[in-house]
Amino acid sequence: MKVVIIGASGYSGAELASLVASHNKLTLAGIYVSEASLDKEKYLSDLYPQYLGLLDQILQPLTSNAFADIQKNADFVCLCTDHKVSIELAPIFIEMGKKVFDLSGGFRLSSDEDYQKYYGFSHQNISLLNQAVYGLAEWQNTDDIKNAQLIAVPGCYPTAALNALKPLVDANLVSKENIIINAVSGVTGAGRKANVNTHFCEVSLAAYGLFNHRHTPEIEKYLGHKVLFTPHIGNFPRGILETIYVQLKENVTADQVEKAYDCLADQPLIRLLANKIPTINGVVNKPFVDIAWQQQGSQLIVMSAIDNLLKGASGQALQCMNISMGLCAEYSLLPKGVQE
């Protein structure tokens, strides 16, 4: 299948381009940026020297001619763009008959009211919002992903939280109290555009988005439980670590908790670490979700770690593309031979 990436100069876009270029059943048919981008006409490998020899392709501006080329030469279109840009572009490519994988938050929530409250703008395509399938690969029905024209690739923080919490909620082990999620992300999660608040030399460990972060409604929608989510930015490049505080129902035993997590035991990209504590170093540049937990009475602490650019974005988009082609979700993400 031929893949086009819009917004390929950003961190997630470049990461996705490298995954597609390394995949033996996909062809990277084009990489694009906006007409106003300072990155247009540059080689992607000049922006990211680690991809020299793999991504020696020119970033093309998204002109009318580019749309015509995409119509002729693409099967899958991946949007690594701003939320509002994705909402504008997705229907254009869907009208062309392309399958769209949107890595923004443009199609993850339920209503225009949610977008006004958490994203600060009114959603302009509610009908398409209702058609989008959420691409949480380990949990979504594979037929839904295969048959949908629009896949909303989950956010990075929700990916770590949902994989860690859904086994407990689905097993009905959690009390009605809010689940508390304390999450820390590397600065790549803030994107590549220059901003003094995310400049590496200026970043200190700090909370942001208290009570109103846009990933709160996303987690609650697909978890089916209220959460108190507090994100933090840390002074390291990539990775997410979440420490999650769960109040269990009365008399829930350690065996019940362990049995709940059995549903993830056979998932190749999820590692249950038993008594080990997940770390960011353990997942950086890897496609895994590392999950561990410790229980004291009715209190449970769950820890979850991912690479925000891989499992939290590009890797999960690739999982959805694999599923769409009838391959196992982890194809080409694991060491050669493991997925065969």
Note if 328 is an active site residue.
no
Backbone φ and ψ for 71, nearest 5 degrees, come out as: -60, -35
The gap from C-alpha 334 to its chain's centroid, in whole angstroms, comes to 18
Give me the catalytic one of 156, 201, 263, 320.
156
Lookup result for tokens 């987690």: 219
Cα distance between residue 38 and residue 61, in whole Å: 10
Give the three-state DSSP class for 4: strand
Closest CA to 90 of 149, 28, 30, 2: 149
Give the residue carrying structure tokens 């694009």. 32
- Between the CA of residue 327 and those of 141, 270, 288, 314, 330, what are the distances in Å? 14, 18, 18, 17, 8
Tell me how far apart the alpha carbons of residues 73 and 93 are, in angstroms, rounded to a whole number: 12
Question: What Cα–Cα distance (Å) separates residue 65 from each residue in 3, 18, 77, 196, 255?
Answer: 17, 25, 16, 36, 60
Q: Distance between CA 268 and CA 333 in Å, rounded? A: 10
Encoding tokens for residue 1?
């299948």
Are 338 and 329 in contact by the 8 Å Cβ rule? The answer is no
Catalytic residues: 156
